[in-house]
Every structure is written in C-alpha cells, then in structure tokens.
Structure 1
Amino acid sequence: MNLIAENEIKAPESPIARRRSLANPSALGYGGFAATLMTLSLSGMGFRSISNQSVFVANLCFLAGVGLLVSAQWEMVRGNTFDYTVLGAFALYYGGYGVLLLPSSGVLESYQGQTADYHNAFGIYLLVWSILNLFFFIASLPT
C-alpha cells in the first residue's frame, strides 16, 4: 500500500473559467446624487442666506452631470437597465439645471427682468422632471 499515492490531490482536468466582474458603479452615482441634492436643497431653503445658486454650477454640471452619466454607462455595461435609466436621467436633469443657472448661457438675461415669467418656466421644467420621477417611483415598486 502506497500512502503517498492515496493522498495525492488530483488537478482538475480542465481549467476553471473565472468570471470577470466589474466594480459596482452605483456608489459614484448615489454619492454624486446625494451631494448635489443636499447642496441644492440647502440653497433652495435659503440656508445661510444663500440667494444666488451660481456657485453650484460646477457641482451640477460636473459632479452630478458627468459623474452620474459615467455611473449610468457602467450600469448599462453591467446589464442594470433600470439603474442606467434612472442615473442617466438624473445626469441630464442636473446638467440641464446647471446650464440654466450658468450666467453665460443667457437664459436669465433673455427674460429681461421678468422674473415671474422665468420662475413660471423654471417651475414647468421642475414639474416635467417630477412627473418622470413619479414614473420611476412606480416602476421601482415590487410587482
């Protein structure tokens, strides 16, 4: 009886295929969304007497706009269609919001001091995105 032969470990006959996995891109998306929403909400409430939101253009266009769009693209690569749709939509929303606040875009100046018209138009912009958020909420409910 050969003890060495009985205790040998046999190598697998074929190599084991390893599945490559991507890191979870949702952390970038959710972090960018939360940070942007927090700063925008605080300024909207007048926290620390902030009335001009132009300082948040970089946050809206780059952190939220570009960051969420990059995160959305990687969600698409991973096959997460709903996450891709939501993060991509919010990237476009925040990017558009940032462009509306950008002084060089000329949106505010085009109203020539008629702030009531500007606020009404801006309210329609927010209303349309609120309806889209309602659809996202309904789609996220378990069936």
Structure 2
Amino acid sequence: MSTNAAHTDTSNQAVLNGDHSHDKDFATATRGMSHEEKTAAQHAARFGYGPLAHMRTNNDATLPAFGGEFQPGLYKGVEGRKFANPAPLGLCAFALTTFVLSLINLGTRNVEVPSIVISLAFGYGGLVQLLAGMWEMAVGNTFGATALSSYGGFWISFAIILTPGGFAIESTIIEQQNSKALYDCLGFYLMGWFIFTFLLLICTLKSTVAFFLLFFTLDLAFLMLACSYLILESGEPHVGLHRAGGAFGIIAAFLAWYNALAGIADTSNSFFIVPVLHFPWSEKGKQRRQENNTDHTA
C-alpha cells in the first residue's frame, strides 16, 4: 500500500471513529463551535449521523446510506456539490400530502370527501416533490430522482382523478359502465403503485431502519388501499382495509418527516441530532462490527 493511500485510510478511519484531533477538515468543519458542540458533533459522527458522519478527507471515498440524503446505498462525498440537499424538501412535500389524505382515509372527524387534498396534491406533493426529484437528478442521485419524481407524478395524477369536472375520469367510467368498474380501476391504479414502491423497498434493505420503514409502511398503505377497492363491502370500498391503508399512510408520513429532519438538523441549527440506525448487514453495520472486534482484540 502506498504512503498516500495508507494516510487516507487512517484519516477516514479516524473520522468514522470520531477521532478528529489531528484532522484539518474537522478543524475547518467545527470552526466557531463551542467545546460542547464539537463533542456532540464527534459523538454524532461516531454513530453514523449528523453532518460530520459524511465528511471524508478523500473526495473519492464513499459515504454510508443515509435517509436524510435519500441515498439507500454507498455514494460519493458531497463536499464539491454546488446544490443543496433536495431530499428533505421532497420528503416534506410527500409527508404533508400523505398525512392529510391518510387522516381522511381513516375517517377522522367523519370527514369523507378528500377534496382538500387536491390543492396539496397539485401544489406541494405534486409540483414541489417533482422539482425536488429533478434536483436529485442534478446532484447525481438516481434513487432519489426516481422516487421523488415518481411520487410527485403520483400526486399530480391522483389530483386529476379527484378534481370535480376536470378530465371527468370518475364520471365517465361510472356513466359508461358502473361504480364497480371505477373501484376496480382505482384498485388497479393503486396496485401498480404498490408494485413500484416494492421495487424501491428492495433497494433500501442495506440502508437505515428509518429509511426502510418509510417505504415498507408506504407499500402496505398502497396494498391496503388497493385491496379496499378490489374487495368491496356491500358495493362500497372495504372500510377496514381502507382505514388500515390510512393508518399505514399516517406512519409513512411521520417516517418521511423523520428522514427529512435527519437531513436538515445539525449542530449549527439544532440542539439535538436525529439518530440514524443502520442495519447490521449494511456497509456501515459491517464496519462497526469490524471496529468492535478490533477494540476487543486490542
């Protein structure tokens, strides 16, 4: 191994272990922080969250999966990136729109007409999330671009279906066939999104628990809602399945907000850092096991 490579590996290992005492990058990153803030930053970096956990002395090094960056696998450092992280914006747009619709699906306060969601689905969950997805493409995040842009398209298309008059989708299906045909079409529509979300879910299996649970609960929400339209109860959508879809949607919304906060909060703007738990079989988990084994044998 060359001297430069050995130095880089040592520096990277020091960052991962939270030992930055001889690291110029750490001094630069923590300039202006109090002793307590530096200690908190070191602690955060050691356990895989916070801004210092993603700092490397080698620009070619890869960083561990992180829901706050909407990255389910290893990715290159962000030191030279000219764009801000668009993931929290997309996650928040998705979370709020999902939260409101899921409350209605749950039958909260006996609200049954989801018209209020149309504005959110067009303006926030749709347009803003689609823009965040395009910015993810600009920063080179294929997963984030695919997921956020697709769900932005989902909300826009769903708003088109719900819009009274509009494209007359619901009324046309009912007039030309019947209400059962409409429910079947909605079931097909949601089942397709269940399949798409499952594909994304597979890609989060080596990331963090919060990131995986976001797509897991969202996938269950799509499945429950699709089944509620395909398995009718007295000619109407199945109430139990529909409310189950709303419940999983609520959980997915809060998990999206949690991942968004993880991408926003750091020691410069928050009194606490959102913890991120990596799966034991992920790259970060394997690295920690190696470090623990090294500590025990030392």
The interval holding the TM-score normalised by the smaller chain is 0.7 to 0.9
Mapped partners of 1:93, 1:49: distance in 2: 26
| Unaligned 5+ runs, structure 1 | 1-17
In the other structure, the counterpart of 2:200 is 136
Which amino acid in the other structure matches residue 202 of structure 2? I
Mapped partners of 1:35, 1:42: distance in 2: 11
Partner of residue 138 from structure 2, selected from 65, 69, 77? 77
Instruction: Check if 1:62 corresponds to 2:126.
Output: no
In the other structure, the counterpart of 1:86 is 147
Which structure has greater helix proportion?
A: 1
Instruction: Check if 1:38 corresponds to 2:102.
Output: no
- Cα gap change, 1:20 to 1:97, in 2 (>3 Å): closer
Mapped partners of 1:77, 1:136: distance in 2: 20
- Map Cα deviations across residues 2-21 of structure 1 (whole Å, 9 max, x no partner): xxxxxxxxxxxxxxxx9453
In the other structure, the counterpart of 2:84 is 23
TM-score, L = length of structure 1: 0.82
Mapped partners of 2:106, 2:178: distance in 1: 22
Mapped partners of 1:55, 1:19: distance in 2: 41
**What's the C-alpha RMSD, in Å, of the aligned pairs?**
1.7
Mapped partners of 1:60, 1:124: distance in 2: 20
Which amino acid in the other structure matches residue 61 of structure 1? F
Which amino acid in the other structure matches residue 63 of structure 1? Y
Structure 1 consecutive aligned stretches of length 4 or more whose deviation exceeds 4 Å:
none
Mapped partners of 1:131, 1:20: distance in 2: 33
Partner of residue 189 from structure 2, selected from 104, 121, 125? 125
Which amino acid in the other structure matches residue 131 of structure 2? V
**Cα pair 2:147 2:200 within 8 Å, conserved:** yes
- Cα gap change, 1:91 to 1:20, in 2 (>3 Å): closer
Q: Equivalent residue of 2:203, what SS?
A: helix
CA positional deviation for 1:116: 1.9
In the other structure, the counterpart of 1:5 is none
- Cα gap change, 1:93 to 1:71, in 2 (>3 Å): same
TM-score, L = length of structure 2: 0.40
In the other structure, the counterpart of 2:169 is 107
Mapped partners of 2:115, 2:170: distance in 1: 12
**Cα pair 2:129 2:149 within 8 Å, conserved:** yes
Identity of aligned residues (%): 28
Aligned residues: 126
